[in-house]
């Protein structure tokens, strides 16, 4: 489902929207592969980008497309959860809720410099650390699992100008989706 954009309002993607996008793009890649293979076998015109490719070249190219889509999906899953966490933080601060987590958020925010208030830290020394203080053992473990996804998100989101994180290839969209859903399901009300 595509939502209408409203200027000045948040537009976070849901995990389901991201998952659906991933599946749709993978289907399109498979369809493209099938059409190119048919063309290679005399069933049509080979698109210009594939002219001169061997079958191995085509398979390598298709695999690189799939990997790229998966990396972008991992990035979007993690960014979506980050948006949800930040929106929850804003809601708690704005509503001046009285629960212990909201009070800790306000106390932490009060101690930050004006510069840091403009760009609140999510991870170390930030929102996730505050939540961990108020979390049970299960939520702390889920936060830890989610944190393992952050280097992949940063690597993709910042242009990949450093070496790929070691765990990147083990963080499939399915694994990251499960971690993201589990964290959001356990997030304090």
Total count of domains within the chain: 1
- pTM, entire model: 0.89
Let me know if residue 9 belongs to a domain.
no
Let me know if residue 135 belongs to a domain.
yes
CB of 86 within 8 A of CB of 122? yes
Task: Report the C-alpha gap between 11 and 83 in whole angstroms.
Answer: 9
Let me know if residue 67 belongs to a domain.
yes
CB of 49 within 8 A of CB of 148? no
Instruction: Give residue 8's pLDDT band: very low, low, confident or very high (50, 70, 90).
Output: low
Residue 1: the pLDDT is 37
CB of 18 within 8 A of CB of 73? yes
- Say if residue 93's pLDDT is above 50: yes
Let me know if residue 129 belongs to a domain.
yes
Q: How far is CA 105 from CA 91, 120, 160, in A?
A: 11, 11, 32
Residue 4: the pLDDT is 45
- For residue 76, the surrounding DSSP H or E stretch is helix 55-95
Let me know if residue 34 belongs to a domain.
yes
Which residues constitute the domain of residue 164? 15-186
Let me know if residue 10 belongs to a domain.
no
- pLDDT (tens digit, 9 = 90+) per residue, 49-66? 999 999 999 999 999 999
User: What Rg, from alpha-carbon coordinates, does the chain have?
Assistant: 21
Mean pLDDT calculated for residue range 98-102: 93
Let me know if residue 5 belongs to a domain.
no
By mean pLDDT, which of 65-74, 118-127, 146-155, 160-169 is the weakest? 160-169
Let me know if residue 6 belongs to a domain.
no
Task: Report the C-alpha gap between 40 and 14 in whole angstroms.
Answer: 39
């Amino acid at each position: 489902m595509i939502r209408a954009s409203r200027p000045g309002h948040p537009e976070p993607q849901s995990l389901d929207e991201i998952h659906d996008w991933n599946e749709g793009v993978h289907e399109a890649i498979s369809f493209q592969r099938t059409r190119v293979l048919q063309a290679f076998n005399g069933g049509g015109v080979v698109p210009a980008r594939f002219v001169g490719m061997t079958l191995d070249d085509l398979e390598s190219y298709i695999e690189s497309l799939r990997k790229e889509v998966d990396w972008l999906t991992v990035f979007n899953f993690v960014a979506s959860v980050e948006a949800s966490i930040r929106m929850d933080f804003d809601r708690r601060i704005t509503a001046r809720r009285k629960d212990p987590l909201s009070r800790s958020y306000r106390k932490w925010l009060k101690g930050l410099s004006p510069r840091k208030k403009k760009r609140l830290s999510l991870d170390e020394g930030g929102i996730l650390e505050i939540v961990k203080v108020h979390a049970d053992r299960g939520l702390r473990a889920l936060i830890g699992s989610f944190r393992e996804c952050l280097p992949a998100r940063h690597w993709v989101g910042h242009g990949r100008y450093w070496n790929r994180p070691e765990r990147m290839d083990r963080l499939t969209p399915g694994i990251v989706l499960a971690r993201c859903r589990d964290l959001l399901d356990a997030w304090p009300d």
